[in-house]
Homo-oligomer: A and B are copies of this chain.
Amino acid sequence: MTRIDDVARLAGVSTATVSRAMRGLPTVSAATRRRVLAAAEQLNYEVSPSASRLAGGRTGTVAVVVPRITRWFFSTVVEAVEEYLHESGYDLLLYNLGGREQVRQRVLRTANLHKRVDAVMLVATPLRPADLTALANLDLPGVTISSGTTVPTWPCVRIDDMAAARTATRHLLDLGHRRIAHISGDPDQHFVFTAHADRRRGYQAELRTAGLRLDPSLDIESSFTIDGGTRATAELLARGTPPTAIVAASDEMAMGAMAALRDAGLRVPQDVSVIGIDDHDLAGVLGLSTVAQPAAEQGRLAARILLDPLGARTLGPIVGQRGTGRDTPVILPTRLVVRDSTAPPRAP
């Protein structure tokens, strides 16, 4: 395997100069740089990451932490982040928490990360208060996606969860619904994660604005998954008169709800309207109305915010960015997408 001194010899310079030229440092004359690059090319030389990391203290690697890569939001974010990182010359170390407490510990506790990566991205990762301080003390650049996760000194990219839920609820109100249920995630008291709470507040606020009373029996907590949607809806139906419409806190929950309604012999939207939040890849196939959130764009933007201060060769401005997210979160817009799962309630 060719090493730096092979290139140095061929180019007739020192290894220090090769090192500088390869990294594009400005302190190398154009002619020398050309000679070095030609020699590297000719020898098919590639810098050894291990040696470079040990000597330089930088890893060229970013850790991306997601709860479950199999869910739409996370795989979509990771796809966008992977592209941005690789185009910027960074590697992506994937950590999929998958609900394993040990993994959370290992990943989030200090020592593990700061020797393997230059920066950390946390995607909608429920954190314990202790994790928060541990991360803030990590002395590593970081960024979070989604309001659920906020590390004191890290910038954050997200949507306005409360507004998204308000939009969904208002759509149903506009159609004439008055008996509107809400199914959302299950707030684990051990974790700091506010996305579902914000969505719930949006649903409630919009009903209040419309002058409606909140009916607690129409507001169900479950988990943020297809199966959670199914269970929440079954519970809802078991409680008596069904609502005429359901706001689900995610598209996956909405899909679970549609399945539960079908199993109960209720038609969507004739008997019950359903709306989600996300714009999942399959929302179109299912005819699911939803409030779309830009998952890939949140990923790209977060990647850029993370890499910029590292002096990475980042990829130009991103459309729609307002602010850097460093002091205040960057909030990306959502938008209502009406399909076939929502319609006016039947005349009584």
State whether A111 and B51 are in contact (beta carbons under 8 Å apart), knowing that A78-B94, A91-B93, A96-B79 are contacts in the complex. no
Whose C-beta in chain B lies nearest to the C-beta of A64?
A: B94
**A112 interface residue per 8 A CB criterion:** yes
The stretch that binds B, out of A206-214, A251-259, A300-308, is A251-259
Whether B76 lies near A70 (C-beta < 8 A) is yes
The stretch that binds B, out of A149-157, A173-181, A281-289, A321-329, is A281-289
User: How many monomers of this protein are in the complex?
Assistant: 2
Question: Chain A 69-89 against B: per-residue CB contact (8 Å), 1 yes, 0 no?
Answer: 110100110110011001000
Whether B92 lies near A226 (C-beta < 8 A) is no
Within residues 92 to 117 of chain A, which ones have a CB less than 8 A from any CB in chain B? 92-96, 98, 100, 103, 106, 111-112, 115-116
CA A111 – CA B50 in complex, angstroms?
14
Interface size class of A (residues with CB under 8 A): 35 or more
CA A98 – CA B79 in complex, angstroms?
8
For A83, what are the chain B residues with a Cβ–Cβ distance below 8 Å?
96, 98, 100
CA A78 – CA B93 in complex, angstroms?
12
Whether B86 lies near A79 (C-beta < 8 A) is no
CA A284 – CA B225 in complex, angstroms?
13
**A53 interface residue per 8 A CB criterion:** yes
Whose C-beta in chain B lies nearest to the C-beta of A262?
A: B287
CA A1 – CA B110 in complex, angstroms?
11
**A68 interface residue per 8 A CB criterion:** yes
